[in-house]
Amino acid sequence: MAPKDAKTVKTKYIYTFGDGNAEGNAQMKNLLGGKGANLCEMNRLGVPVPPGFVITTEACTRYTEKGREDLMEAIREEMEQGIAHLEQIMGTRFGDRENPLLISVRSGARVSMPGMMDTVLNLGLNDDAVEGLSQRSGESRFAWDAYRRFVQMYGDVVMGLKPESKEDEDPFEVLIDEMKKKRGVANDNQLTTSDLKKLVLQFKELILQRTGEEFPTDPWEQLQGAVSAVFESWNNERAQVYRSLNGIPEHWGTAVNVQAMVYGNLNDNSATGVAFTRDAGTGEDLFNGEFLVNAQGEDVVAGIRTPQQITLEGSRRWAELAKITEEVRREKYPSLEEIMPEVYRELAAIETRLENHYADMQDLEFTIQDGKLWILQTRNGKRTGAAMVKIAVDMLNQGMIDEKTAVLRVDPHRLDELLHPVFDPTAIKSANVIAKGLPASPGAATGQVVFFADDAESWAENNKPTILVRMETSPEDLRGMSVAKGILTARGGMTSHAAVVARGMGKCCVSGAGAIHVDYRARTMTVDGQTFREGDWISLNGSTGEVYEGRIITQEPALSGDFGKLMKLADKYTRLEVRTNADTPEDAATALRFGARGIGLCRTEHMFFEGERIIPMREMILAADETGRRTALDKLLVFQREDFRGLFETMHDLPVTIRLLDPPLHEFIPHDEAGQREIADDMGVSLEVIKDKIEELKEANPMMGHRGCRLGITYPEITEMQVRAIIEAALDVKMKGIRVIPEIMVPLVSKVKEFEAQKNLIEATAETIFAERNERVEYQIGTMVETPRAAMLADYISPNAHFFSFGTNDLTQMTFGYSRDDASKFLPIYLKQGLLDHDPFEEIDQYGVGGLVQIAVERGRKGNPNLSLGLCGEHGGNPASVDFCHRVGLDYVSCSPYRVPIARLAAAQASLKNEK
Ligand code: PEP
Ligand code: MG
């Protein structure tokens, strides 16, 4: 029980800012959200920010747990004080007929989730306040337009008026379109005050009709509704999808930012825009961005009007790309630098100050109200993988950050984009450009046209590559965008939803290709009289904005000098080495280019699938006895020896780990009768003999069946052949002066005796060859640890082993009891229901599977302090798993060639993070 005199300490739910003061700061992101924390910080820096207050993420958690009524009561007093604070700074009153305070209510989580949650602007307007706004601003059209926007937004966000089906338009937009038709005008801006008054009435009627509720006139009720809607939007479907795609935990919650409204659409001396302190696409150190005169923030993002560029330089570059003459540019699309030079200078000074303060590239939102500049938001800007690398290296060169920070700045997953395909230069020569849009997110993509996000999803399930074509995208399209190969929109600038989201995903995107007309009902897209239907192939170049007809072959990109510099830096701070999983000299060469320090896994079975080799392989499997098997193995030996020579020569004196045959044999057998007849003819036996043998080989559960070292134990001649091929190849390359130390790896061991039996056989075979050749070569013998039993008995296995390599694919399969082949039936449902946080075949399950790894590391080293330890499951290229491998003290991870840079950077970050 609490002592009698203990006072209950009331939780503080609201933090105010304004007029150069703030209760919060940039360090308080967890409590105030990224946006709220930065608004406070900017106030402290003296940047002009409209005053406001932040309702904390803790309030969101309370809202989710205890509901609306409870929270509203808990924050009532603080909210009243918050509004009073705004009234005092602005000299206005909430809901006043003379001089009303108008506010915006926006979400703001710890990390930015662009467009995922809800916003309400112009809150505080009602039939009285609109008169006040009208008189104060002297612009009655402006006031009624603000009211019209407010009712529309509130009706959508808070009262839930959405289109009834995906083919339907927004019900409010339908009314606006009808009004424009009636008036014979094309643009919203041409509607008169009296039109807008009528629209407000129509909107309210529509709301009443559809929801049975009156539009609220009391500003306090409006405020409570908007705050609740923002908290509710934390759990809307698109926010949930975004969170699961970006690994954002559900319990974080969002903060709510309430701010005094400033108007970029007050008059022609007003504007609104978005600016980046560096180029988010290329990383170039160039202040850039877009704005619209006499417009509100959402107009820039919606991309319905063509935005102008902030700087003169940017404007000129933009005009050149859009093939617009200097004259037309100056007249129709002048830069902010040209039309409002003083405001521009103030903005440019602020961008430099903010970038220096945060020592990172900033993404700013600003509004100019009647010539006065206001900064509405600053945050670390989203950027492409290439920009991420360039900005980190440039900032290091400019002395803004140190080496370690540069290494930590780049998200390893995003390196993938730099390694992404570009169009084959020959194929592109004959390709036909059908349209040109903005280069919104770089890379090349080719796929079949779909018009709806859910189609992109279902086509992806059937392995069909798609290009999602939309007039413009909205956050509802997120899931479809994430699975499409590329995104093409008819509308929208570089800061439109499609562009921002695609860049965030590292997905190729062309936006604002105005020549394209989309007919959703007919599922067609028309360009210059040419019609493309759903399923037709098109290709996109997200780096130039070009849209091509048909399917164009793509190829791998060249890597920049900055990339090399970053990788070098990464290696400087890394302890964990990165090897590659490669089965051919070509793959090995690619991995070497990406900086692999050896081969951690060569899956020899992959070598048997190629070309003619499958024939002797099948003969070996289907042979009636050992003699038959040996005859076939002799043929395979020739291929294998050649393969290993190639690998050793490519890798030179780096380590090469070769695994003995692992998979169940029936994987190599033809399943159709024609194939079976062919093999029968080849082997000179009847079809029946082959069919009987295949029947004999069938297993109910092959993953747990006759595979791994069980093959080498039951058919020792297979191990003998493979060891012969390895040792003879090593002796051959030794003659050429290559110092190779092959590492021979025994798969799927669970008994100590299994390993010992194979080891004895390997040694005996090697000795025979040394005697034959009268020459020796150094080699090592180790084992995969991929069954739980091998992990538990690691101290008994390790005294005889040079190395362990954790096969975490099988170890995950066997620890969870999830079949690698069948898990896709239930894993997606488990992930959706939150039973699993992530796919354990992608990111290692640190406590379960990882627990076994940890035990095996400790016990393995206890049995043999010189034991070398690696991991070669798919997890070797997954940053979170690489971090785990570092922490448990492995010596290396091994992953597919294209993931080598990702693993190298992740390994360096693991060293740096764990050093802190
Ligand atoms: C593993 O099991 O993790 C492994 C690398 O082997 P494979 O995927 O070939 O079974
Ligand atoms: Mg395995």
Residue of 658, 667, 810 with the most ligand 1 atoms within 8 Å of its CB, for mutation: 810
Which pLDDT does position 133 carry in this prediction? Answer: 92
Q: Quote the pLDDT of residue 407.
A: 98
4 pLDDT band, cuts 50/70/90, is very low
The three-point CA angle 910-912-913 to 5° equals: 65
* Best probe residue, ligand 1, of 711, 803, 872 (max atoms within 8 Å of C-beta): 872
Is position 659 annotated in a ligand binding site? yes
710-763: pLDDT as tens digits: 999 999 999 999 999 999 999 999 999 999 999 999 999 999 999 999 999 999
At residue 529, the pLDDT reads 92
Interval 219-263: pLDDT, tens:
999 999 999 999 999 988 888 888 887 778 888 999 999 999 999
The span from the first CA to the last CA of the chain, in angstroms, equals: 41
Residue 909, pLDDT score? 98
* Ligand showing the shortest atom-to-Cα distance for residue 853: 1
Report d(CA 330, CA 364) in Å as an integer: 25
Residue nearest to atom 1 of ligand 1 (CA): 807
Q: Which atom of ligand 1 is nearest to the CA of 805?
A: 5
Q: Is 809 annotated as a binding residue?
A: yes
- pLDDT tens figures, 801-859: 999 999 999 999 999 999 877 787 788 788 878 899 888 988 999 999 999 999 999 99
Q: pLDDT above 70 covers what percent of the chain?
A: 96
Highest mean pLDDT among 176-190, 615-629, 700-714: 700-714
Q: Is 603 annotated in some ligand binding site?
A: yes
Please give the distance of CA 776 from its chain centroid, rounded to a whole number: 50
Atom nearest to 810 CA in ligand 1: 2
Assign a CATH topology to domain 574-664+699-915: TIM Barrel (3.20.20)
How far, in Å, from the CA of 810 to the mean position of ligand 1?
6
Is the pTM for the entire model greater than 0.85?
Answer: no
pLDDT at 504: 61
pLDDT of 495 reads 60
Interval between CA 662 and ligand 1 midpoint (Å): 9
pLDDT at site 716? 97
Look at residue 152 and tell me whether its pLDDT is greater than 70: yes
Q: Is the pLDDT of residue 168 over 80?
A: no
Ligand 1 atom nearest the C-alpha of 806 is 3
What are the residue boundaries of the structural domains of the chain, listed by start? 14-260, 271-383, 421-555, 574-664+699-915
Counting from 1 in the atom list of ligand 1, the atom nearest the Cα of 807 is 3
For residue 815, give the ligand nearest its CA: 1
Q: Which residues pair with 805 in a beta bridge?
A: 784, 870
* Band of pLDDT at residue 2, cut at 50, 70 and 90: very low
Q: What pLDDT does 592 receive?
A: 94
Protein residue with least CA distance to atom 4, ligand 1: 807
Distance 808 CA to ligand 1 centre (A): 7
Atom of ligand 1 nearest to the CA of 874: 3
Which of residues 306 and 65 earns the better pLDDT score? 65
Contacts 24+ apart (CB under 8 A), 321-330: 321/438, 321/439, 321/545
CATH 2.40.50.220 corresponds to the domain 271-383: no
Q: Which CATH superfamily is domain 14-260 in?
A: ATP-grasp fold, A domain (3.30.1490.20)
| Atom number of ligand 1 nearest to Cα 813 | 2
The residue whose C-alpha atom lies closest to atom 3 belonging to ligand 1 is 807
Characterize 88-99 residue by residue with b for buried, 16 or more Cβ atoms within 10 angstroms of its Cβ, and e for exposed.
ebbebbbbbeee
> Which of 392-401, 455-464, 580-589 is most confident?
392-401
What pLDDT score does 322 carry? 82
Task: Give the count of beta carbons closer than 10 Å to the beta carbon of residue 536.
Answer: 15
pLDDT score, position 1? 42
CA–CA gap between residue 371 and residue 346 (Å, rounded): 11
- The alpha carbon of 391 and the centre of ligand 2 are apart by a number of angstroms equal to 40
The string of pLDDT tens digits covering residues 555-575 is 767 677 899 999 999 999 999
Q: How far is the C-alpha of 320 from the C-alpha of 544, rounded, in Å?
A: 12
User: Residues 89-104: pLDDT tens digits?
Assistant: 999 999 888 889 999 9
List 760's β-bridge partners, or say none.
none
Of 786, 818, 819, best ligand 1 pocket probe by most atoms within 8 Å of the beta carbon:
786
Give 841 Cα–ligand 1 centroid separation in angstroms: 11
Asked if residue 747 lies in contact with residue 709, where contact means CB atoms within 8 angstroms, the answer is yes
Q: Which ligand is nearest to the CA of 600?
A: 1
565-591 average pLDDT score: 93
* Closest residue to atom 9 of ligand 1, CA basis: 603
Q: What are phi and psi of 468, to 5 degrees?
A: -85, 115
User: Taking 90 as the threshold, does the pLDDT of residue 306 lie above it?
Assistant: no
Q: Is the pLDDT of residue 5 over 60?
A: no
How high is the pLDDT of residue 829?
Answer: 86
Whether 109 and 33 have beta carbons less than 8 Å apart is answered as yes
Pick the CATH number of 421-555 from 3.30.70.20, 3.30.360.10, 4.10.320.10, 3.50.30.10: 3.50.30.10
Neighbouring residues of the ion ligand 2, judged by CB less than 5 Å = 786, 807, 810
Amino acid at site 24: G
Mark out the alpha helices in 158-286 (DSSP H runs).
171-183, 193-211, 219-233, 237-246
What tokens were used for 627? 């003699």
More confident site: 447 or 680? 447
Q: How confident is the model at residue 611 (pLDDT cuts 50, 70, 90)?
A: low
**CA 439 and chain centroid, separation:** 19
Three-state DSSP state, 906: helix
Three-class secondary structure assignment of 798-825:
HHHCCEEEECHHHHHHHHHCCCCCCHHH
382 pLDDT exceeds 60? yes
Which active-site residues does the annotation give? 497, 872
Q: Which ligand is nearest to the CA of 602?
A: 1
Cβ neighbours of residue 336 under 8 Å, at least 6 residues apart?
271, 273, 291, 308, 309, 310, 311, 343, 344, 347
* The two three-digit tokens of residue 36, written as one number: 């709220």
Residue 466 pLDDT grade (very low, low, confident, very high; cuts 50, 70, 90): very high
640-646-649 Cα angle (round to 5):
140
Provide residues with CB under 6 Å of ligand 1.
601, 603, 662, 786, 807-810, 872-873
Ligand 1 atom 8: residue of nearest CA: 809
pLDDT band at 8 (very low <50, low <70, confident <90, very high): low
Residue 888 pLDDT: 97
Choosing from 579, 602, 603, 852 the residue with most ligand 1 atoms within 8 A of its CB, the one to mutate for a pocket test is 603
pLDDT score, position 568: 95
CA atoms of 80 and 656, how far apart (whole Å): 70
Q: What is the Å distance from ligand 1's center to 697 Cα?
A: 22
Q: Is 97 annotated as a binding residue?
A: no
Q: Where are the beta strands (DSSP E) in 278-412?
A: 288-293, 308-309, 362-369, 372-380
Q: What percent of the chain has pLDDT over 90?
A: 70
Which three-class secondary structure state does DSSP give residue 272? strand
What's the CA-to-centroid distance between 786 and ligand 2, angstroms?
A: 6
Mean pLDDT (whole number) for 275-298: 91
Listed in sequence order, the DSSP H helices in 26-139 are: 29-45, 57-66, 68-90, 129-137
- The predicted pLDDT at position 494 comes to 62
